[in-house]
């Protein structure tokens, strides 16, 4: 008994040391997050050289703290201890990160970092000049380096699966592939049917020119409406909208384009979903995995739930359109139904992922996924990317890019060396539908609540089922815990078939 108690006190002490160490690492990472926000939002343009050095110093310090022998010793000691569930989960998360970071040689990390730093301007210029060949050697180098990186982490695993796990560590690649394949199989005919439909949606509801300042006021309106916590947040503009921060300070950025009121509004709602997740993480677990968000699939489920299931819904437009008309008199005569249709039109000629509608979006993702998976496996050569890209666009979406700038050069991700990131966009949207269905099941009448502008219950449900757990559960366990079911694309497909079947009056849906 005395021995047990002594042992247990020993564990407590070790766990405290562990917590202190990982909290310090988190604090360094969160400081870097503020520096990146600053860089995107407020930094003077010539601040880059110093900022790059500051970020690189913080990243090295964080890496050294994580991969130090002391971290390894603490992990080993805790893994052989009798820990509670929460502590065990925190140890699991840090162990995963520790194993990955200790297995990749520092020189390779630095080479990747240097190559991506140079890749960005190369990609940008290649895109501007519509010249894939300028970017090809860099892309080839990055593919090679990331293969090598994956090999260090797990020489026995499919390298693409290893890379994918950097963004989504717990849904295995088979699951991801199965879901993406199913999306392709079921969405391609749905989109075909839509393109064959004679229905004309009210697509010009939001046509016009809209002043930036008024758009900003409206963005604040919608954040107020959804319940954004301004005491812990703020809204700014950035060229590529993002949200970042911690449960004490989770900020939203958006952008305003004079001729795209709807795009700005949905982007703001999307980023609200991310920030709102962060704000729901438990205060008391700040600095540990229990106070940190689950990975990208879950994060994207939160942004897509608010963007698509709330912000593109009929009851939302019934409720919010008058607020829009208060800011923009030209919308006074628009009906909620017209706004709903405009927010849900499916484009038949769009080549650009970030401008895609809710439905075709996933085929943009499937194409990138198939290409990057084959690049990493070696089944596809870099030089063949443009043609394969264009063929797939023709096959899945019925449009063929005429230039690489609006084809395979459109996205920044590969210049960052981010192979395996794209799938989480679709996996998150799929999860959003599953969560929304479960919330409807539990709470009932979500449509009525949204139409009444009542978001507290929905948000309370998300807080309880998802946010407050931080990274305690793995993704599959979290989904199971939140919905009572395994992760599935059923709800997403039911949802889009129902919605678009009705909108476009498709008999077979």
Per CB under 8 A, does 58 bind a second copy? yes
CB of 287 to a second copy, least distance (A): 7
What stretches of 80-105 show up as alpha helix (H) in DSSP? 85-103
Task: Put residue 326 in one of left, alpha, beta given phi > 0 → left and psi -120 to 50 → alpha.
Answer: alpha
In the bound state with a second copy, the residue whose beta carbon lies nearer, of 253 and 319, is 253
CB of 288 to a second copy, least distance (A): 12
For residue 38, the Cα-to-chain-centroid distance in whole angstroms is 20
The correct pick among 1, 3, 4, 44 for binding a second copy (CB under 8 A) is: 44
The correct pick among 49, 69, 333, 508 for binding a second copy (CB under 8 A) is: 49
CB of 269 to a second copy, least distance (A): 20
Selection from 27, 481, 400 nearest residue 246 by Cα: 27
Distance CA 339, CA 29 (A): 41
Site for a second copy, residues 376 to 435, rule: CB under 8 A: none
Per CB under 8 A, does 156 bind a second copy? no
Site for a second copy, residues 280 to 299, rule: CB under 8 A: 283, 286-287
Distance CA 201, CA 344 (A): 9
Distance CA 444, CA 446 (A): 6
**Secondary structure of residue 236 in the 3-state scheme:** strand
CB of 57 to a second copy, least distance (A): 4
Angle, vertex CA 222, rays to CA 221 and CA 227, nearest 5: 100
In the bound state with a second copy, the residue whose beta carbon lies nearer, of 27 and 403, is 27
CB of 238 to a second copy, least distance (A): 13
Catalytic residue flag (residue 111): no
In the bound state with a second copy, the residue whose beta carbon lies nearer, of 96 and 234, is 234
Per CB under 8 A, does 47 bind a second copy? yes
CA distances to 257, 308, 375, 480 from 182, in Å: 35, 20, 21, 21
The first and second tokens of residue 35, run together, are 């520096």
- Beta strand pairing call for 243-246 and 235-237: unpaired
* Binding range to a second copy, per CB under 8 A, among 42-50, 149-157, 175-183, 499-507: 42-50
Catalytic residue among 93, 168, 216, 271: 271
In the bound state with a second copy, the residue whose beta carbon lies nearer, of 229 and 505, is 229
CB of 249 to a second copy, least distance (A): 4
CB of 77 to a second copy, least distance (A): 23
Task: Read off the DSSP letter of residue 187.
Answer: H
Per CB under 8 A, does 137 bind a second copy? no
Distance CA 396, CA 386 (A): 15
Site for a second copy, residues 219 to 278, rule: CB under 8 A: 230-234, 246-249, 251
In the bound state with a second copy, the residue whose beta carbon lies nearer, of 56 and 474, is 56
- Beta strand pairing call for 243-246 and 249-254: antiparallel
What is the H or E stretch that residue 356 is in?
A: none
CA distances to 22, 75, 90, 138 from 69, in Å: 14, 10, 18, 35
Per CB under 8 A, does 54 bind a second copy? yes
In the bound state with a second copy, the residue whose beta carbon lies nearer, of 169 and 287, is 287
Q: How many residues form the binding site for a second copy (CB under 8 A)?
A: 40
Per CB under 8 A, does 68 bind a second copy? no
Distance CA 158, CA 140 (A): 19
* CA neighbours closer than 13 Å in the CB half-sphere of residue 395: 10
Q: Which residues are tagged catalytic?
A: 271
Contacting residues toward a second copy, per CB under 8 A: 23-24, 27-28, 30-32, 34-35, 38, 42-51, 53-54, 56-58, 60-61, 230-234, 246-249, 251, 283, 286-287
């Amino acid at each position: 008994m005395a021995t047990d108690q002594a042992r247990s006190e020993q564990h407590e002490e070790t766990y405290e040391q562990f917590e202190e160490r990982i909290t310090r690492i988190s604090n360094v990472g969160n400081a870097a997050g503020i520096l990146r926000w600053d860089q995107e939002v407020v930094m003077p343009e010539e601040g880059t050289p110093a900022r790059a050095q500051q970020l690189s110093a913080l990243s090295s310090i964080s890496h050294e703290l994580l991969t130090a022998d002391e971290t390894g010793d603490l992990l080993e000691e805790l893994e052989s201890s009798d820990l509670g569930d929460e502590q065990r989960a925190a140890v699991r998360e840090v162990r995963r990160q520790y194993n990955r970071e200790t297995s990749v040689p520092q020189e390779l990390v630095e080479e990747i970092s240097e190559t991506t730093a140079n890749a960005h301007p190369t990609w940008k210029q290649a895109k501007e000049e519509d010249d894939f060949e300028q970017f090809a050697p860099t892309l080839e180098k990055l593919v090679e380096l990331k293969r090598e990186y994956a090999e260090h982490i797990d020489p026995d695993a499919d390298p693409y699966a290893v890379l994918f796990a950097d963004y989504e560590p717990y849904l295995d690649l088979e699951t991801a592939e199965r879901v993406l394949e199913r999306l392709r199989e079921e969405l391609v005919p749905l989109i075909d049917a839509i393109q064959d439909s004679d229905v004309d949606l009210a697509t010009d509801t939001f046509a016009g020119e809209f002043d930036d300042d008024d758009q900003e006021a409206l963005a604040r309106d919608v954040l107020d409406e959804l319940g954004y916590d301004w005491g812990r947040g703020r809204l700014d503009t950035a060229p590529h909208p993002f949200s970042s921060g911690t449960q004490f300070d989770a900020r939203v950025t958006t952008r305003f384009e004079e001729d795209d009121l709807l795009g700005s509004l949905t982007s703001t709602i999307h980023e609200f979903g991310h920030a709102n997740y962060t704000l729901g993480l438990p205060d008391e677990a700040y600095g540990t995995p229990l106070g940190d968000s689950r990975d990208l699939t879950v994060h994207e489920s939160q942004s897509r739930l608010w963007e698509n299931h709330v912000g593109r819904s009929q009851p939302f437009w019934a409720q919010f359109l008058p607020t829009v008309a208060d800011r923009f008199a030209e919308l006074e005569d628009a009906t909620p139904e017209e706004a709903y249709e405009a927010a849900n039109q499916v484009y038949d000629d769009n080549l650009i992922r970030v401008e895609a509608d809710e439905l075709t979006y996933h085929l943009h993702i499937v194409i990138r996924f198939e290409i990057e998976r084959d690049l990493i496996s070696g089944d596809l050569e870099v030089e063949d990317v443009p043609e394969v890209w264009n063929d797939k666009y023709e096959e899945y979406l019925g449009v063929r890019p005429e230039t690489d700038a609006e084809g395979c050069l459109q996205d920044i991700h590969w210049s960052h060396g981010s192979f395996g990131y794209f799938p989480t966009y679709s996996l998150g949207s799929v999860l959003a539908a599953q969560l929304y269905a479960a919330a409807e099941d539990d709470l009932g009448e979500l449509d009525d609540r949204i139409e009444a502008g009542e978001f507290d219950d929905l948000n309370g449900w998300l807080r309880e089922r998802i946010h407050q757990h931080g990274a305690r559960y793995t993704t599959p366990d979290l989904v199971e815990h939140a919905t009572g079911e395994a992760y599935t694309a059923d709800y997403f497909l039911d949802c889009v078939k129902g919605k678009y079947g009705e909108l476009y009056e498709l008999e077979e849906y």
